[in-house]
Amino acid sequence: MKRFGIIAHLKRPNIERTTRVIIDWLKSQGLTYWICKELADVIGETEFVKPKKKLYEDIDCVLSLGGDGTMLSSIRNVGHHGIPVFGINVGQLGFLTEILAQDIPAALEKLKNDDFEIEERMVLEAKILDSECGSYYALNDVVLDHGDSTRLIKLDLYQLNASHEELFVCPYNADGLIISTPTGSTAYNLAAGGPVLHPHLGAIIASPICPHTLTLRPILFDDRSCLEIKVALENIDVRMTVDGQVRCNLESGTRVRVCKAPHNIKLIRIKDYSFFEILRTKLHWGARPLTTNHD
């Protein structure tokens, strides 16, 4: 890695100082860097500045400074160009980020010396049918919900077979529906009672949000499946949200098609990676409940 792009969450504490540490180190090593324009405006940088959408040009990887939300934003801007992303956690939970800010110099040394591994993750592609909108890409999930309304929405779920014939799966009277990747299984899907999947599995999860029935449960599809969701209720608009960041409103009768995207995204790993260790340390998976000793 000789050429770096930098994207950051501008409201995180010490983001300016953290960015300066990175820039100074890269300059000391004679390495090339580009900064997204929003970050450059904050730190007063005038050289080597590009818009996020152009940051993939002339770089080998992106350094994403923030939390998982910043990682998702970085991936959305460069991931489909095959550019790997390296996460530096100056956020909170940090499920996708690799290291903490204090480990930056040692981590950059590893990147410079190509002492790392690339981990590929599945991405979803969502399309609003009969619309001029392009494709939306999600590393975590595509969510259809009632937006600002408090009313239940009605959605119909279909699976397309190999001949693209519709197979009706089920109707949902619910607050919404989450279509999730294995990576996103520990995000909104988990909060809605969906299953935790290892991120290397090839699968798509459909998890209802507060369904108004006792019989509807999350469904697991293989990653060759193509799903369609129809907005079935009249006079109530439905909101579609991609990775919790990109939103648009859908009218009654609208159909959304969600399939595995033709590309994967690439995450840079410099440490031995254990998905189960992350579950234990960050979600306290398997932790025994505390007991009170009354003796």
Q: Which residues carry out catalysis?
A: 68
- Label residues 107-122 b or e (16+ Cβ within 10 Å = b): bbebbbeeebeebebb
Q: Residue 36: name the closest of 20, 21, 56, 14 by CA.
A: 56
Alpha helices in 80-143 (DSSP H): 104-112
The 8-class DSSP code of residue 276 comes to H
Instruction: Answer left, alpha or beta for residue 87, where phi above 0 means left and psi between -120 and 50 means alpha.
Output: beta
Amino acid letter for position 140: N
Other C-beta atoms closer than 10 Å to the C-beta of 182 total 23
Q: Identify whether the C-beta of residue 254 lies closer than 8 Å to the C-beta of residue 128.
A: yes
Token look-up 């077979």 returns 161
Instruction: Answer left, alpha or beta for residue 288, where phi above 0 means left and psi between -120 and 50 means alpha.
Output: beta
CA-CA-CA-CA dihedral for 16, 110, 25, 80, to nearest 10: -50
Q: Identify whether the C-beta of residue 66 lies closer than 8 Å to the C-beta of residue 37.
A: no
Quickly list DSSP for 229-255. EEE--TT--EEEEETTTEEEEE-TT-E
Half-sphere exposure of 226 (CA within 13 A, CB side): 15
Q: Residue 237: name the closest of 253, 223, 217, 226 by CA.
A: 253
Q: Residue 40: name the closest of 16, 71, 73, 18 by CA.
A: 16
Q: Identify whether the C-beta of residue 76 lies closer than 8 Å to the C-beta of residue 142.
A: no
